[in-house]
């Protein structure tokens, strides 16, 4: 081993505390990168394999009613490889607790089980499915602990049907189980899917020889838009409601967002950690070079060139990178399997195998090398200025001058002596102070983001179901009914208010941009819906015109005051141009809103409604469970309970993210304090002679760190705000829009968390102060 390498090992041993703390940061950065990168690719591979195995549909067509003959005729369209009709209807399920509301989606299966969206059998199904049998979706069966051969009882058109569970299966169509796009969270025990025979479904729902949904597989995804245009023309007369491509299907949409979120974490967090590690390495090496000034001069006098000495000190940074890389990459690879298994288990995807992409490991090594070598060269650049002869003499002290605050005499005279020393030391090392502030500001920002995510979820929920929608229940009809049904309902239930609602799918178009959405019609003076524009102004539904949400406006590239075309899927209904009178906020789902009377007159039929909104203290779920033509009763109370249950899981995730921020804050303050103590040993020894005890000296260092943390928090507030805006923009989609509202609450909470980690780091250096030998420091200026 070369002499310089032996010396390098001594350097590492001498500063092992700092070395380990920075190595941990690098290791965590690479562990996050490898872990989430491999996990995302494994989930994506599992999804692709699952879709391929089950022959997942490329689109789903919803209609009023389409005969078998018309479905078979679709096979003649060029580009379509397979077609399959089915009946799909949501109905209530009878459960032991009468106050509990559970819905299931009854879906028909062809005799042969179908060639599209084939089920992935988990248990049972040894014989052909009978009309009194049912196959349950695995997630629902597990959530309610339903076993094979048990009986479930759905309410269908006012009648109960006892069905025997003959099988439990998973479906690629329901990887992420949500009832609709208005659902904030999956409620696996409140909503499930039951697969029945085609004959049974057509009989009980009145679809003899016909269907209300069609599944389509295409040969070439690039031709899918042309195929959709042909399908719209062919199926218009059958009451076409909407055509949903795979990319827009609820489960797939959520899954893609989750994978995108994992990929974003794998790229953003590691870079932040490595930036902080680079800052610390640069400061550490700068201090080491300054302390080794005489030793460096001796090395140069012995014949070592600038490059040799510079590479020697840069190897210190490379050693940190090497140790961090080995630890982080190993940890990431080892954790990738259980992490992948957790994710695929959560999404209920059969795992096709763990794949380790070695390109990610190579990327991690390259990334670490760039940061560590770059910071090492930057921190050790002072070597180039050291001349052998000059290094034998003590370095000339820097020219002293008054700092800016000293010139403000009427303020400076009131500053205590210890604080004067703190402020002067900061101004003596302005660049280091700036780096520390930047690093701590990043740590603060990392603490802010998870707190914002929690706050935004709570805020989103409270606004959606407390401000924008104020009903207690929403009742959906199995088919459109006359408005007079409200009178009949008022006799069945005790309600403070019942309001008609008309919800129907249409295609909104602005030039070549188009999107299928549900338009909701409500009374102009609605008591249950509140609309706010993007400037937080209350707006009321106009006599004519349409409100669209921010997500739709962005997708269609339309502004307030412009016109969009509303294309109807109903036979005999012409397209209508409507002016966008306002772009309104909606955090869950993407809808358009109209005056119900205008919507009835222009787009549908007068007096038609598809449901009602109700304010009532009555148990509507129990009272309306046997009522014919009611397909679903949704309670805001149930949604609230699901959200409360979800918050427990979210709090664990917040703790996980805040730990990352804490590691950064701890490492920064710990290393900065150790460096400060090493550099100022002579100064502290002089203070001891002047009568200061070790507690006073420790207090001065604490004040310096406190001031650094305070300024870092102030700098971190706008930095955190920009990170929040970036997160809000990245995670917002058609299904969910994160509010970018900045609350002082989570900024304050992040500040408290940052201060706690700073205090912990400060306490970790206490032993270093009390073990300082001040007498030795006075004997020699070279430690």
Side-chain-side CA neighbours of 29 within 13 Å: the count stands at 32
Which of the 8 DSSP states describes residue 574? P
**What is the C-alpha separation between 446 and 705, in angstroms, rounded?**
19
HEC string for 243-274:
EEEHHHCHHHHHHHHHHHHHHHHHHHHHHHHH
- Inform me whether the pLDDT recorded for 86 exceeds 90: yes
**Structure confidence at residue 127 (pLDDT):** 62
Range from 288-292, 348-352, 509-513 carrying the lowest mean pLDDT: 348-352
Please say if the pLDDT value at position 716 is more than 80.
yes
Torsion of CA 553, 557, 559, 565, to 10 degrees: -80
The b-or-e profile of 621-646 (16+ CB within 10 A means b, else e) is beebbebeebbbbbbbebbeebbeeb
Mean pLDDT value across the chain? 83
| 485 and 609 Cβ atoms separated by less than 8 Å | yes
- The model's confidence at residue 452, banded by pLDDT at 50, 70 and 90, is confident
Q: What is the rounded average pLDDT of the residues 432-453?
A: 84
* Nearest alpha-carbon partner for 215 in 90, 113, 131, 103: 113
Burial class of residue 499, CB neighbours in 10 A (0-12, 13-18, 19+): buried
| Confidence at 88, pLDDT banded by 50, 70, 90 | very high
Convert the pLDDT of each residue in 736-748 to its tens digit: 777 666 778 888 9
**When comparing pLDDT for 397 and 274, which is higher?**
274
Mean pLDDT score, 63-92:
89
As a whole number of angstroms, the distance between CA 183 and CA 592 comes to: 17
What is residue 358's predicted lDDT score, i.e. its pLDDT? Answer: 83
What average pLDDT does the segment 444-469 reach? 80
Q: How far apart (Å, rounded) are the C-alpha atoms in residues 125 and 122? A: 9
Cβ distance 499 to 548 under 8 Å?
no
d(CA 569, CA 576): 12
DSSP state letters, 16-81 = HHHHHHHHHHHHHHHHHHHHHHHHHHHHHHHHHHHHHHHT--SEEEEEEEEEHHHHHHGGGSTTEE
Q: What is the arithmetic mean of pLDDT over 247-273?
A: 84
Segments in 189-243 forming alpha helices (H): 198-204, 224-235
Distance CA 398, CA 396 (A): 6
Structure tokens at 127: 């014989």
| Alpha carbon separation from 504 to 181, 441, 501, 516, 574 (Å, rounded) | 14, 49, 10, 10, 15
Concatenate the DSSP letters of all residues of 65-130 into one string: EEEHHHHHHGGGSTTEEEEEEE-EEEEEEE-S-TT---EEEEEEE-TT--SSS--EEEEE--SPPP
Q: Examine the pLDDT at 296 and tell me if it is beyond 80.
A: yes
pLDDT in tens, 570-628: 777 788 999 999 999 887 777 899 999 999 988 888 888 988 999 888 877 777 777 77
Torsion angle, alpha carbons of 225, 349, 253, 239, to 10: 60
In this prediction, what percent of the chain has a pLDDT beyond 90?
14
- Looking at 463-612, list the stretches that DSSP marks H as alpha helix, in order from N- to C-terminal side: 485-492, 550-556, 596-602
Q: Which candidate, 707, 209, 634, places its Cα nearest to that of 427?
A: 707
Cα separation values, 770 from 534, 764, 773, Å: 58, 12, 9
Which residue do the tokens 């002596």 mark?
417
Rounded to 10 deg, the angle between the 636-679 and 16-54 helix axes is: 150
Stretch 440-451: mean pLDDT, rounded?
A: 85
Question: Per-residue confidence at 783, pLDDT binned at 50, 70, 90?
Answer: very low
Higher pLDDT, 73 or 265: 73
Residue 776 confidence (pLDDT) above 70 = no
155, two tokens: 């309410």
Tokens of 237: 């007369």
- The pLDDT tens digits for 314-346 are 999 999 999 999 999 999 888 888 888 877 777
Helix (H), strand (E), coil (C) string for 326-369: HHHHHHHHHHHHHHHHHHHHHHCCCCCCCCCCHHHHHHHHHHHH
Q: State the pLDDT at residue 642.
A: 67
Two tokens at 261?
């979120």
Is the confidence at residue 782, as pLDDT, over 60? Answer: no
Q: What per-residue confidence (pLDDT) applies to 33?
A: 92
Give the CA distances from residue 781 to residues 20, 272, 758, 768, in Å, rounded to whole numbers and listed in that order: 27, 37, 30, 19
């Amino acid at each position: 081993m070369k002499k310089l390498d032996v010396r390098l090992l001594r350097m590492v041993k001498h500063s092992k505390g700092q070395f380990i703390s920075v190595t941990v940061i690098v290791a965590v950065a690479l562990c996050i990168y490898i872990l989430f990168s491999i996990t995302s690719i494994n989930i994506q591979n599992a999804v692709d394999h699952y879709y391929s195995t089950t022959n997942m549909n490329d689109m789903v067509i919803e209609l009023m009613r389409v005969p078998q003959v018309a479905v078979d005729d679709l096979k003649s369209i060029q580009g379509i490889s397979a077609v399959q009709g089915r009946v799909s209807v949501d109905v209530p399920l009878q459960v032991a607790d009468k106050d509990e509301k559970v819905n299931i989606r009854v879906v028909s299966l062809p005799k042969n089980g179908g060639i599209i969206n084939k089920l992935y059998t988990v248990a049972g199904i040894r014989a052909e499915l009978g009309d009194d049998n049912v196959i349950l979706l695995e997630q629902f069966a597990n959530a309610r602990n339903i076993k094979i051969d048990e009986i479930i009882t759905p309410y269908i058109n006012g009648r109960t049907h006892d069905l025997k569970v003959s099988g439990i299966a998973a479906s690629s169509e329901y990887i992420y189980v949500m009832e609709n796009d208005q659902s904030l969270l999956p409620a696996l025990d409140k909503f499930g899917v039951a697969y029945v025979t085609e004959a049974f479904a057509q009989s009980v729902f009145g679809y003899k020889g016909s269907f209300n949904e069609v599944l389509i597989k295409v040969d070439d995804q690039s031709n899918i838009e042309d195929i959709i245009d042909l399908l719209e023309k062919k199926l218009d007369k059958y009451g076409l409601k909407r055509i949903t491509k795979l990319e827009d299907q609820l489960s797939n949409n959520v899954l893609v967002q989750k994978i995108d979120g994992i990929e974003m974490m794998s790229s953003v967090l590691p870079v932040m950690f490595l930036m902080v590690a680079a800052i610390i390495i640069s400061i550490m090496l700068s201090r080491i070079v300054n302390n080794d000034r005489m030793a460096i001069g001796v090395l140069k006098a012995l014949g070592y060139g600038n490059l040799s000495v510079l590479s020697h000190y840069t190897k210190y940074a490379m050693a940190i990178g090497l140790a961090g890389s080995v630890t982080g990459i190993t940890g990431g690879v080892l954790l990738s399997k259980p992490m992948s298994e957790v994710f695929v288990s959560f999404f209920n995807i059969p795992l096709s195998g763990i794949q380790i992409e070695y390109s990610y490991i190579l990327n991690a090594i390259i990334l670490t090398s760039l940061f560590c070598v770059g910071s090492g060269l930057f921190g050790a650049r002072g070597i180039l200025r050291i001349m052998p002869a000059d290094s034998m003499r003590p370095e000339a002290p820097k020219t002293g001058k008054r700092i800016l605050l000293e010139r403000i005499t009427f303020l400076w005279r009131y500053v205590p002596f210890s604080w004067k020393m703190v402020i002067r030391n900061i101004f003596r090392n302005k660049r280091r102070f700036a780096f520390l502030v930047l690093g701590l500001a990043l740590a603060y920002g990392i603490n802010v983001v998870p707190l914002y995510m929690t706050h935004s979820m709570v805020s989103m929920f409270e606004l959606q179901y407390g401000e924008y929608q104020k009903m207690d229940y929403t009742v959906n009809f199995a088919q459109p009914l006359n408005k007079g049904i409200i009178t009949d309902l008022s006799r069945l239930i005790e309600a403070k208010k019942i309001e008609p609602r008309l919800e129907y799918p249409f295609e909104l178009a602005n030039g070549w941009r188009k999107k299928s959405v549900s338009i909701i019609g409500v009374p102009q003076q609605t008591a249950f819906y509140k609309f706010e524009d993007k400037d937080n102004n209350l707006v009321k539904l106009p006599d004519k015109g349409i409100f669209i949400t921010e997500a739709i406006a962005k997708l269609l590239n339309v502004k307030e005051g412009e016109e969009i075309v509303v294309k109807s899927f109903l036979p005999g209904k012409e397209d209508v141009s409507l002016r966008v009178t306002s772009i309104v906020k909606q955090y869950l789902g993407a809808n358009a809103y109209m005056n119900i009377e205008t919507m009835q007159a222009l787009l549908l039929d007068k007096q038609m409604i598809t449901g009602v909104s109700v304010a009532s203290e009555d148990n509507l779920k129990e009272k309306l469970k046997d009522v014919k033509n009611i397909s679903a009763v949704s309670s805001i109370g149930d949604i609230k309970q699901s959200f409360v249950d979800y918050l427990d899981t979210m709090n664990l995730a917040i703790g996980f993210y805040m730990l990352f921020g804490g590691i950064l804050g701890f490492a920064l303050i710990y290393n900065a304090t150790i460096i400060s103590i090493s550099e100022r040993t002579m100064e502290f020894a002089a203070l001891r002679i002047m009568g200061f005890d070790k507690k006073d000296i420790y207090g001065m260092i604490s004040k310096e760190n406190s001031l650094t943390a305070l300024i870092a928090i102030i700098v971190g507030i706008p930095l955190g705000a920009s990170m929040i805006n970036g997160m809000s923009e990245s995670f917002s989609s058609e299904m969910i829009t994160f509010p970018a509202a900045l609350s002082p609450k989570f900024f304050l909470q992040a500040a408290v968390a940052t201060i706690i980690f700073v205090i912990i780091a400060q306490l970790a250096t206490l032993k270093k102060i009390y073990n300082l030998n001040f007498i030795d420091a006075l004997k020699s200026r070279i430690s």
